Amino acid sequence: MGQQSQQQQLHWEGETPALPVGYCESCEEHMFPIRDFCPSCFSEDLSTRTVTEGRLETYSSIHIPKEGFPKPYTIGFVRITDDDIRLFSYITDPTDECEVGQTVYVQAESFGEYEETWAFGQEETNV
């Protein structure tokens, strides 16, 4: 999954950036990105839920960034649902301020060639 598809997935709940997540009404599994049918049970009985926060499970620092990214920047895996969806994401906080297990919130970020995409960070964006 490239940055291009990330950009399409940012969703606003009023002032709060969020990520739309698919939910299967049949087997109760979440999926991200949203699909036309459930990858676990092939049901088409899906609904959409939105996620605004997750838990940082692991993170690392990138010292040789792509053009337009801050240097160094932080990347990490964020678990967004209890049934185990983990997203590989840009983390807006410096690595030395991150902690495994902390709550991180969906952020709307612009960097590099991407105008508005999602990331996660400690700053709570609910208004």
Question: What single-letter DSSP state applies at residue 95?
Answer: G
Q: Which is nearer to Zn ion, 39 or 68 (CB)?
A: 39
Assign 3 to helix, strand or coil.
Answer: helix
Residue among 10, 38, 78, 80 that touches Zn ion (CB under 5 A): 38
CA distances from 6 to 70, 97, 127 (A): 19, 25, 23
100 binds Zn ion (CB under 5 A): no
Q: Report d(CA 39, CA 17) in Å as an integer.
A: 26
In this chain, which stretch among 42-50, 82-90, 94-102, 108-116 interacts with Zn ion, using CB under 5 A?
A: 42-50
Residue among 3, 5, 35, 41 that touches Zn ion (CB under 5 A): 41
Give contact residues for Zn ion (rule: CB under 5 A): 24, 26-27, 38, 40-41, 43
